[in-house]
Amino acid sequence: MLHANIIKAATPEEAGKLAADVFEALIRTKPACLLGLATGSTPLPLYRELIAREKAGKIDFSRVRSANLDEYKGLGPDHPQSYRYFMQDNLFNHISIKPENTIVPDGLATDPEAMFAAYENQIEAWGGVDLQLLGIGHDGHIGFNEPCDHFPKMTHEVELTAMTREANKRFFASLDEVPTAAFTMGIGTVMAARKVMLIATGADKKEILHKSFFGPVTPEVPASILQFHPDVTVICDAAAWGE
Ligand code: F6R
């Protein structure tokens, strides 16, 4: 492993609190910061904690901006399994962030290439991502950057692997309903963030966590590229670390 601060928490809830400390410190020092956000089960304790901290007057989201990692192709904001819907439901509707200050790739884009360019341009116009939050897939994906033979640079379209569709079917009525493609920030977009925080919780993440941070850097394990990022913090619970 080349770089990465690894913080071990006892439980997913404690991991969420430790992650919230980093978010709180950033938002206090830079109220108009740009957060890179993720969906999935992993960030939920963090999002609950951030909501509680704003209600307690510790954080103010009114000037914060956010850019999400990814979205399913074909799902619009009103679809309960879309990532835009997830973000509204689990975070944005409960904090003071302004709707115009949040972006999620448009799953219904009719001209995806134009949408990708606009997405990257908006991130740049907002000054770049200050803190990029990541979960990790069982195959090492970050965002929806699946194992492949290169590290994709910019926001782009991906075919989802069978493993990812299988892992995400828990949110859908059946596997058939899980979209087969998605739009995601590229590895280059993620690597351009000034600070990266990856959270991994649960015993099922142990193997891929170790492979990503202690194994060779390879596009076959997309998260392994984070070994080359100068400011990465990994927050894991005891189960993901292997205790
Ligand atoms: C979600 C995302 C994905 C998830 C990963 C882990 O926006 O980009 O890479 O972080 O699939 O998902 P969970 O947290 O549900 O295990």
* CA 59 to ligand 1 center in whole angstroms: 25
238: left (phi over 0), alpha (psi -120 to 50) or beta: alpha
**pLDDT the model gives residue 75:** 96
Strand order in the sheet with 232-237: 5-9, 232-237, 195-200, 131-134, 34-37, 65-68, 102-103
**pLDDT the model gives residue 190:** 98
Query: Residue 9 is encoded by which pair of tokens?
Result: 């928490």
**pLDDT the model gives residue 67:** 98
Instruction: Kindly state the percentage of the chain with pLDDT values over 90.
Output: 95
Of 54, 71, 141, 156, catalytic: 141
Beta bridge partners of 56: none
Is pLDDT at 2 greater than 70 in this prediction? no
Binding site membership of 145 for ligand 1 (Cβ less than 6 Å): no
Integer Cα distance of 63 and 3 in angstroms: 31
**pLDDT the model gives residue 1:** 52
Per-residue DSSP letter, 156: E
pLDDT in tens, 146-196: 999 999 899 999 999 898 899 899 989 999 999 999 999 999 999 999 999
Using DSSP bridges, classify how beta strands 181-184 and 70-72 pair: parallel, antiparallel or unpaired: antiparallel
